Structures are given as C-alpha cells and as structure tokens.
C-alpha cells in the first residue's frame, strides 16, 4: 500500500520527495512531545522503500531524509543537546568515540542556527556521494558530514533500541 501524505499537528508531510536524484516515499511521520503534552516537533521519515522494521531502515542504503518542523521556539542549544543525548543513549562509548569528530561537526552546524523559531524546517538528508546534509529552511548549513554510518547513527535517535520516544518510533515506521 503506498504511503499517503500525512498531517501531524498541522504540518503536512508529502507522500514523496526527491533527494540526490532519488525518489523517496514517506515511511511515516509523528509528533515529538515532552512530558506527553508539550509539542516539540513534527517529524517525517523518507526512504526509497516503505518498511515497518527498524532494522531494515537502519540497514538500508541510498538517499534518505529526516524532515523536522519545530512546533515551538527552541534555542539551538536545546535542540542540539537533545539530539546528542539521544545519540549517546543509542551507542556505546566506543561507538561514540568513533563518531566523535562527526558528532562535533553536527553540534557546530546545529549551534550555528541560533534561535530555532516555531515552524522552522530542518532536513537531514543523506546523499550517498557526500554524506549527511543539514538544511534549515532552504539553506544548507555547514558542509556535509561524511559517512553513511553517521546517518544511520542519527536515525537511531528515533529508531534505535532506546528511541527518544517509543510511540514516535512506531509512527515513523508507519505502524500507527
């Protein structure tokens, strides 16, 4: 069954998009909350093929996209710290050591955003030829972060063994 466009907290996620010349399908979309009531962001996951298995998403190759739209004002520090904390929760100390230079690059890129106003669009695109690209609005921030393993590490924020929010993991996998 093909994915349908989804509306999450007033944010529309198209049923497909293109990254690096590859057509991607909306796998799922959901709402990140804090304390079960504070809406933080809406997020969609775009993949070459729709799948309901986290392991299959993490093992997949090729272009992919994580699309985030903030639902409240945040500081770059708040958003960055939350992402890094979730990365650490899903990786061993040794894995984080291997990722450290690229995590530092992501931190620097994210902190350069400054204030993250409500309705800010942040795309994390994986481009097979160059790595993970951070796009805020329609502007690329920083240089691409090398390695498909880094993009997979980022995906584990939402799809790992300790996802930032369990029901959000299911939503991104199209299970709810």
pLDDT in tens, 6-20: 899 999 999 999 999
Averaged over 105-124, what is the pLDDT?
A: 94
Residue matched to tokens 């520090």: 77
What pairs with residue 67 in β-bridges? 44, 123
Q: 176: how many CB neighbours lie within 10 A of its CB?
A: 11
> Domain coordinates of the chain in residue numbers?
6-172
Q: What share of the chain is helix, strand, coil (3-state, %, to 5)?
A: 35, 35, 30
Question: Per CATH, is 6-172 categorized as 3.50.70.10?
Answer: yes
Phi/psi region, residue 23 (left: phi>0; alpha: psi -120 to 50; beta: rest), is beta
pTM tops 0.85: yes
Nearest to 54 by CA among 160, 163, 176: 160
């Amino acid at each position: 069954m093909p994915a349908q466009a989804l509306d999450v907290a007033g944010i529309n996620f198209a049923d497909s998009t293109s990254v690096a010349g590859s057509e991607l399908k909306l796998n799922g979309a959901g709402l990140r909350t804090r304390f079960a009531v504070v809406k933080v962001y809406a997020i969609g996951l775009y993949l070459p093929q729709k799948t309901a298995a986290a392991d299959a998403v993490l093992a997949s190759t090729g272009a992919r996209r994580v699309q985030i739209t903030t639902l409240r004002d945040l500081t770059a520090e708040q958003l960055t710290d939350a992402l890094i904390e979730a990365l650490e929760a899903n990786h061993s100390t040794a894995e984080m050591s291997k990722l450290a230079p690229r995590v530092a690059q992501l931190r620097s890129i994210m902190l350069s955003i400054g204030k993250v106003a409500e309705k800010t669009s942040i795309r994390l695109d994986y481009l097979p030829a160059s790595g993970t690209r951070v796009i805020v609005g329609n502007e690329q921030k920083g240089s691409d972060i090398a390695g498909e393993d880094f993009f997979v590490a980022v995906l584990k924020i939402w799809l790992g063994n300790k996802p930032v929010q369990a029901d959000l993991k299911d939503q991104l996998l199209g299970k709810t």
